[in-house]
Structure 1
Amino acid sequence: MAGDTYVTVVGNLTADPEVRTTSNGGTVANITIASTPRQFNRNSGQWEDGDALFMRCSAWDSTYNPLASNIQASLTKGMRVIAQGRLVQRSYQDREGNNRSVVELRLDEIGPALTRNTAQVTRNSNTGAPNGGGRGGFAGAGNGGYQGGSSYQGGAAAGAAPQQGSQPPAQDPWSSTGSGDSFGSFGSSGEFGGAGDEPEF
């Protein structure tokens, strides 16, 4: 939207996502991303950590985009992620009755940073329900998690490199066999022009 401030943050989750249900039935996930810049110290000849930015983020489930639920099923403490969203300011009253304001990132997209992780993607089924079957984003066995070291293992087959020329897996979420989803014959008929319609050079 016009006037919104969009931000992209790369960093590590400081804790597991906090997911709660609001009084009106909405589902929201809250996370904090620690983004630490690296600076080269010419005197020591070493890379050093700068001051970390701790960005509080929130994400909501909607009818067709269960982002909060996907975050809960996919992300855990310590994972390195890329997050994109809009900066928003909201006001609230703390337990002592004081009025406070905070600035947070309202997430539009988030996922593992593949420079330091590997992930296996599971596509949501189009059930129209935020918590319907097929929920999950980067799912492994039992929806996996951050499995030690610097690699997010998304399943038993995540470490296996695909062989060139091999067929797509049986459960490839983006494979399509429906007649209405194939673009293989696009332009083969004369409807959009063919080889015979090209001008001579």
Structure 2
Amino acid sequence: MANETIITVVGNAVADPELRYAQNGKPVANFTIASTPRAFDRQSNEWKDGDALFLRCSVWGDPAEHVGQSITKGTRVIAQGRLKQRAYQDREGQNRTAIELEVDEIGPSLRYATAQVTRSGGGGSGQRQAPADEPWITPGSSDSETPF
């Protein structure tokens, strides 16, 4: 993870994500986010759109299936991940470079919408069951004495 460029992008899904499965059965969702900066023009007293950034994104594993079920064309999303550079040759044989976002986290933007979250069975509630004999986990009152 060192020396990787991590960015956060807010924008709209250009189309429904394409959900596919690799030969090993691992799911991958590919989609494009369009992010358009806006600035207030004081002379005209109105908002002006800047040039749109179209960023191709991919997400792997269980989150790919979640994206496939949750994100649709036009959904405003917040995505965070690592920029990756990919070299390829186009149809004319010219060398090209593409910059893509390998998504680590993604969700709907709640600025102009609401969402209802349904937790999936796997992964992370962030809580795990503590062993019964673990003294540091034993609940106490705020008046409890520090154990050292």
* TM-score over 0.5 for the pair: yes
Alignment check: 8 A CA contact 1:34 1:53 kept: yes
Name the SS of the counterpart of 1:51 in structure 2.
coil
Structure 2 match to 1:36: 36
Following the alignment from structure 1 to structure 2, what is the Cα–Cα distance between the partners of residues 195 and 42? Answer: 58
| Pair 195,24 (structure 1): closer, same or farther in 2 beyond 3 Å | closer
Give, as a single letter, the amino acid of the residue that structure 2 aligns with 1:19. Answer: L
Q: 1:78 aligns with which of 68, 74, 80?
A: 74
Deviates more, 1:74-83 or 1:15-24: 15-24
Query: Displacement, 1:109?
Result: 0.4
Letter in 1 for 2:29: A
Unmatched segments (≥5 aa) in structure 1: 129-173
User: What corresponds to 1:124 in structure 2?
Assistant: 120
Q: Which position in structure 2 is the counterpart of 1:4? A: 4
Structure 1 residue 94 displacement after superposition = 4.8
Provide, for residues 10-56 of structure 1, a one-character-per-residue CA deviation record: whole Å limited to 9, x for no partner.
Answer: 00111000112223433211111111111111221001111111111
Q: Which runs of 5+ in 2 are unaligned?
A: 131-136
Q: What are the within-5 Å matches in structure 2 for residues 26-105 of structure 1?
A: 26-61=26-61, 66-94=62-90, 99-105=95-101
Q: Counterparts of 2:85 and 2:73 in 1: how far apart (Å)?
A: 25
Contact 1:188/1:194, CA 8 A, preserved across alignment: no
Q: Once superposed, which parts of structure 1, at least 4 consecutive aligned residues long, lie more than 4 Å away?
A: 93-99
Query: CA shift at 1:98, angstroms?
Result: 5.3
User: Which residue pairs with 1:197 in the alignment?
Assistant: 145
- Map of 1:154 onto structure 2: none
TM-score, normalization: structure 2? 0.80
Describe the superposition over 1:71-126 as per-residue Cα deviations: whole angstroms up to 9, x where unpaired.
00000000101000000112345566655431100000000001111111111112
2:17 alignment partner in structure 1: 17
Distance in 2, Cα, partners of 1:34 & 1:67 = 20
CA distance in 2 between counterparts of 1:196 and 1:39 reads 55
Question: Which residue identity does 1:69 align to in structure 2?
Answer: E
The answer on 1:113 being equivalent to 2:98 is no
